[in-house]
Chain A
Amino acid sequence: MISYNEIRQNAYYDSVTLMLFSSRLSEVPGVSEAAVMMGTDHNKSLMINSGILKSGDAAKITPNDLVIGILAEDQQAVDAALVALAEQFENKRQSASGDEHLRARTMDSAVKKLGDPNFAIVSLPGKYAGAEAMKAMENGMHVLLFSDNVPLEKENELKDYAVEHNLLMMGPDCGTAIINGVALGFANVVRQGNIGVVAAAGTGLQEVTVVIDRLGGGISQALGTGGRDVKEAVGGKMMLLALEALKNDPRSEVIGIVSKPPAKSVMEKIIASLKDCGKPVVACFLGADGEPAGGENIVSASTLEDAAAFMVDLAQGRPVHRTEFTVPAEQVDAMVAEAVSGLRPGQKYIRGLYSGGTLCYEAMLLLRDAVGEVNSNIALREEFMLKNVEKSVGNTLLDMGDDYFTDGMPHPMIDVRLRVERIKREAADPGTAVILLDCVLGYGCHADPAGALAQAVAEARAIAGEREIAFVASVCGTDGDFQRRSEQEKKLREAGVIVMPSNAQAARVAARILAAI
């Protein structure tokens, strides 16, 4: 086995492009491991751990350097991989110069080429993203700022400008929006309708819009704010601006709001804005203690699925109804009993491996009510924060879209590699009883996440040997998405995964299994 390293200084490519390059290299015969990555600390440690970068070489590599690492049987395979890589770079260069009128090198030239653009999607590394978002607003564009790691001061500066000019500044760390039926960022193909939603939670917004679609409702506008917006330090600037816009939008007959509990002062402003606004409102403040003190027009929901169902009920003029399971009770009992019967003594823990942060958070809340608090990198309380996120302890749920995992790597909704590895690692732990997963579809997401997860489940089962592990999942998407929800669910079921119709129902089934051990 020989290893090959190459460092190209100051050569920037986005993480998704490099993921595609890496997977092409891994397909070359004779290559056992290959990666092409920007030289962030996280990526360097990944490459060192998989034996494709020597730790001595890592010190001099900076985050602006492109690192190529190949582990192959012989020099011939390395050479073939390098030829394949050169082709990838050439294809990229050609596509970049192909449809000239749609590509630009700077914001100014993009504005000229497109002619009065009114919207920008910014997904650059955090330290550069704020400046580009500001340029976009100065050119009259509303912005979806996908990037995380944008400093708080920058967020406030951007949002102050946006409020002053009545512009949307969704983010930083805003993954999803649907405006005028156009899916922006990670967003699903859903029916248009009379429900307007604002969320400080990306996958929360995806789950809510998807369930609304499944229940026959439709979306007028779905706006994001980024998770930090409702904290004291930002003061709910974008949440309040977005709510005002929905109140003034005649097509949004019902308003939904989805968020972790806002800071007290922000909550007061939100309630004051919505109270008696003349439209029914569904508020889902995940994890809030008790009902928010609101007006008579505000109904509160404790799960994303309930929030969506309430919105559809109100949009169709019905009283709201809560959902525990939408599959028959005896079917749930049978699934739980079968899962428990396969477990051996000592198997007692749940390991949740999530690509969607809000879905992870919702599952933790539901599990807390059923089996107590779980450890996490986004724990509900400080004392349950994992000290080392690489090592699960007891019941653990991980948000693998959190900064630690995405530093220089694509988001796990795009790139399944880290999650696949972690599934296998959890399967090797004799204490693991249940592995809980999300499978998020839509624009921007992986083309076949269920296929990749199904393969990981098969490999995990082989690792676990005679120990059975209960895999539980839900698919967040619609049949309108290019991945097709029904096909994705089928792939997971064929791999022996218990597939529930929502994240809340998946978490409840997982909790029932744990409680029955």
Chain B
Amino acid sequence: MLTVNELFHSQLKVVNVGLESFYEAMLDQNTPACHIDWKPPAGGDPRLLEILAKLSR
């Protein structure tokens, strides 16, 4: 794990989760990046989400 000041001297390697255009901006800037094809957990079903949250406690 890099400290902030160590990060200032390191090549950024970026994980992008959400808007894909931010991932494309990394590619444009020749910055290594990986995009996560994210979907809401439990298909966004609030009842299932609550059960999942209970299970992970």
Contacts and interface: CB of A to CB of B under 8 A. Distances in A.
Interface of A: 10, 12, 14-17, 62-64, 96, 102-107, 110-111, 113-125, 128-129, 132, 136, 140-142, 146-147, 165-168, 179-180, 182-185, 221, 241-242, 244-245, 248-249, 251, 410, 414, 443-444, 482
A124 B38 contact: yes
Nearest to A113: B34
7 contacts: A106-B36, A121-B14, A123-B17, A166-B3, A180-B12, A241-B4, A251-B8
Given A103-B34, A119-B15, A128 B41 contact: yes
B17 A444 contact: no
Contact of A182 (B3, B12, B20): B12
Given A16-B19, A64-B44, A168 B7 contact: yes
Nearest to A102: B34
Given A110-B36, A114-B32, A245-B4, A119 B22 contact: no
Contacts of A166: 3-4
A343 to B, nearest CB: 40
A117 B14 contact: yes
B17 A121 contact: yes
Contact of A249 (B8, B11, B28): B8
Greatest chain A CB density within 10 A among B11, B13, B36, B39 is at B36
B25 A443 contact: yes
A482 B7 CA distance: 27
A261 to B, nearest CB: 25
B34 A221 contact: no
Contacts of B39: 12
B54 to A, nearest CB: 15
Given A114-B32, A117-B34, A124-B17, 18 more contacts: A12-B40, A17-B20, A64-B43, A102-B34, A114-B13, A114-B15, A119-B12, A120-B16, A122-B17, A123-B19, A125-B40, A146-B19, A180-B10, A248-B5, A443-B21, A443-B28, A444-B21, A482-B28
A10 B48 CA distance: 13
Interface residues of B, number: 40
A179 B12 contact: yes
A126 to B, nearest CB: 11
B25 to A, nearest CB: 4
Contacts of B2: 118, 140, 142
A115 B22 contact: no
Nearest to B43: A10
Contacts of B55: none
A165 B5 contact: no
B15 A111 contact: yes
Contact of A63 (B3, B11, B22, B44): B44
A140 B1 contact: yes
A117 B15 contact: yes
Given A116-B13, A182-B29, A249 B34 contact: no
Given A241-B4, A443-B25, A64 B45 contact: yes
A121 to B, nearest CB: 5
Contacts of A241: 4
B42 to A, nearest CB: 9
Contacts of B41: 128
B31 A182 contact: yes
A444 B28 CA distance: 11
A245 B5 contact: yes
Given A14-B18, A102-B33, A104-B35, A119 B7 contact: yes
A121 B18 contact: yes
Given A96-B37, A118-B12, A180-B12, A168 B4 contact: yes
Given A14-B19, A120-B16, A142-B4, A128 B40 contact: yes
Nearest to B41: A128
A170 B40 CA distance: 23
A245 B18 contact: no
Nearest to B1: A140
**What 4 pairs across the A-B complex have the smallest Cβ distances?**
A123-B18, A64-B44, A443-B25, A140-B1
B35 to A, nearest CB: 5
Contacts of B19: 14-16, 123, 146, 410, 444
Contacts of B25: 183-184, 443-444
A114 B36 CA distance: 11
A124 B40 CA distance: 9
Given A118-B2, A168-B4, A183 B21 contact: no
Nearest to B35: A103
A176 to B, nearest CB: 11
